[in-house]
Structure 1
């Protein structure tokens, strides 16, 4: 019995360590052998593009977004704009219609989804009306750098590149310790993604800005999101999903923990399925580095909720066996105590903020699991107001 519990303790501890420390460090070591690889670009490659913006009740930001996309530096005869309104019930559709009337020279269309089924469904429906060679997708609250589309297209230098995501730059980092913690997470994650892309393929993108060939578009189940599903799908098809961080989208992070928690719960609405979404991932001989990337960057992260519970429970059982287990239990309890202190005192200490943010992330995974098991997961969600 004791041996079994020790095995659980060390496996769970390894999962936590590898997800948060081991994998990022290993990537940097592996990258030393790939430093000479650089992202190839061809700025003469300027195919036809549709920029799709999915919106649900985005009256606060949609006008700014429309003005933003018209500033994109790309040949006017090769770019179109498609606003996919996911059954908006506020003034979003009226604002878009009025904008279209005021800008007859721009190729802007409004596609109205009649029944709200979420962002992915809206993309699936709207994509069927697209005739251009490429799709660039972006969120209503993400403002694009004027060279963003040009940068994305320039990186499609070979047929095996099926997906390219840009860089999400958080503009309100200093607004609160919540937005600062999210920005710190992104800074760390962007480094890993750049290395993964340089070596082979990334394991996930971001909804703020990404592109794919229109002919390669796939209708995912509405409960899924492109951020995690597209790179995985293309990787298993033997193609590459990469990032070009010179294509930039600017966005606000949640400034209050309630908004950020809801966002993370929404992100975890399929967490049980994505731990190991396809058995083929285990075939390292065929998928090579992608198998390694997915295990470290995705599987271990998606197991943090259960790993933390198991490592704590097993540690409680083992605490009296030796000073080592007593010390590790003390460390765990202190970690959670610091998060509790942050929650109760709202301290401005950055270390406490990061610990608290991490614990909220784990809690959101548990809520995601609960929603799945109770049938409460849904393909749509209420937006975080502090990100608008």
Structure 2
């Protein structure tokens, strides 16, 4: 039995270390090895584009969003707009209709989704109306930089590039401990994606701003988000999903922990299936760097929830062996104590904030697992009001 304690301890320790520290360090090394590889752009490439905005009860931001997208720098005869209203029951549809009447020179359509089944379903339905070469997706509360579409299109420099994601810039990163922690995590993740993109392909995108070839669009089931599934879908087809961080979307991060917790629970609604969603990912001979990227950037992170509990429990049985196991156990207890201290005291300390935010992320994974096992997963969610 003691052998199993050792096995669980060291496997769990490795997953946590590799997922949160080791992988990012290895990516930095790879970035230096591939530092001369550049991502090309062609600003003369200006294909036809449709900007799609999915909205459910977004009356607070939809007017600003519409004003934002019609001012994008792109040839007017090559850009169209469609708002996929996911069974909105507030004034969203009315605001969009009035905007269309007030701006007759803009090619804007409103598509009403009759039954609310979430963002992915709304995208699937509205995409059937798209006849342009490319489709750009963006959220209702994300404001696009005026050159963002031009940047996204410039990145489609070869036929094997099917997906390009931009950079989400958090505009309220200094407003509170929650937004500070999210901004810190996101900045680190963006640096990893840049290197993955330069070497081969990214493992996930971002819902605030991304583009895909309309001919390569795939109808994912409503529970699957484009953020995680599109890049993987293209990678397994031998195609590429890359990032262009000069294509920017601006958005507020959640300023209260409840909003951020709900968002992370939503992100983990398919966590068990995303650990290893397709056995083909393990074929490193065929998928090369993508297999390595997915294991470090996705699989290990999706296993954090179980790794932490197994590490703690196995460590508890091993503390009598040597001082090393006593030290690691005390370290874990102290780590969780500091998270509780932050939750109770509300002290604004950089390191306490990071520890607390990390523990909230792990708890959100556990809730995601619970929802999956109990059949409580929904394809839609309540938006975070603090991000509006």
Moved more, 28-37 or 175-184: 28-37
TM-score with structure 2 length normalisation?
Answer: 1.00
Deviation at 1:366, TM superposition (A): 0.1
Is the aligned partner of 1:290 residue 2:290?
yes
Is the aligned partner of 1:139 residue 2:133?
no
Q: Which residue of 2 aligns with 1:330?
A: 330
Q: Which residue of 2 aligns with 1:86?
A: 86
Deviation at 1:274, TM superposition (A): 0.4
Q: Which residue of 2 aligns with 1:48?
A: 48
Q: Which residue of 2 aligns with 1:340?
A: 340
Deviation at 1:360, TM superposition (A): 0.1
Q: Which residue of 2 aligns with 1:157?
A: 157
Return the alpha-carbon distance in structure 2 between the equivalents of residues 175 and 221 of structure 1: 36
Alignment of 1:173-322 (within 5 A): 173-322=173-322
Alpha carbon RMSD of aligned pairs, Å?
Answer: 0.4
Alignment of 1:101-112 (within 5 A): 101-112=101-112
Q: Which residue of 1 aligns with 2:95?
A: 95
SS for the counterpart of 1:42 is coil
Q: Which residue of 2 aligns with 1:29?
A: 29
Return the alpha-carbon distance in structure 1 between the equivalents of residues 161 and 314 of structure 2: 45
Return the alpha-carbon distance in structure 2 between the equivalents of residues 377 and 130 of structure 1: 29
Structure 2 unpaired stretches of 5+: none
Deviation at 1:56, TM superposition (A): 0.3
Deviation at 1:16, TM superposition (A): 0.1
Q: Which residue of 1 aligns with 2:384?
A: 384
Deviation at 1:39, TM superposition (A): 1.2
Is the aligned partner of 1:372 residue 2:351?
no
Return the alpha-carbon distance in structure 2 between the equivalents of residues 3 and 374 of structure 1: 33
Return the alpha-carbon distance in structure 1 between the equivalents of residues 10 and 165 of structure 2: 36
Q: Which residue of 1 aligns with 2:68?
A: 68
SS for the counterpart of 2:186 is helix
Give a deviation string over 1:216-269, Cα, whole Å, max 9, x none.
Answer: 000001001000000000000000000000000000000000000000000000
Return the alpha-carbon distance in structure 2 between the equivalents of residues 21 and 303 of structure 1: 14
Is the aligned partner of 1:360 residue 2:349?
no
Deviation at 1:61, TM superposition (A): 0.3
SS for the counterpart of 1:166 is strand
Return the alpha-carbon distance in structure 2 between the equivalents of residues 173 and 191 of structure 1: 17
Deviation at 1:3, TM superposition (A): 1.5
Return the alpha-carbon distance in structure 2 between the equivalents of residues 240 and 34 of structure 1: 17
SS for the counterpart of 2:141 is coil
Deviation at 1:38, TM superposition (A): 1.1
Return the alpha-carbon distance in structure 1 between the equivalents of residues 335 and 5 of structure 2: 22
Stretches of 4+ aligned residues off by more than 2 angstroms: none
TM-score with structure 1 length normalisation?
Answer: 1.00
Return the alpha-carbon distance in structure 1 between the equivalents of residues 347 and 214 of structure 2: 48
Return the alpha-carbon distance in structure 2 between the equivalents of residues 124 and 17 of structure 1: 38
Q: Which residue of 2 aligns with 1:166?
A: 166
Return the alpha-carbon distance in structure 2 between the equivalents of residues 71 and 309 of structure 1: 50
Return the alpha-carbon distance in structure 2 between the equivalents of residues 155 and 31 of structure 1: 20
Deviation at 1:4, TM superposition (A): 1.5
Q: How many correspondences in the alignment?
A: 388
Deviation at 1:31, TM superposition (A): 1.5
SS for the counterpart of 1:173 is coil
Give a deviation string over 1:31-75, Cα, whole Å, max 9, x none.
Answer: 212101111000000000000000000000000000000110000
Return the alpha-carbon distance in structure 1 between the equivalents of residues 36 and 88 of structure 2: 48
Deviation at 1:24, TM superposition (A): 0.2
SS for the counterpart of 1:109 is strand
Deviation at 1:135, TM superposition (A): 0.1
Return the alpha-carbon distance in structure 2 between the equivalents of residues 352 and 77 of structure 1: 52
SS for the counterpart of 1:174 is coil
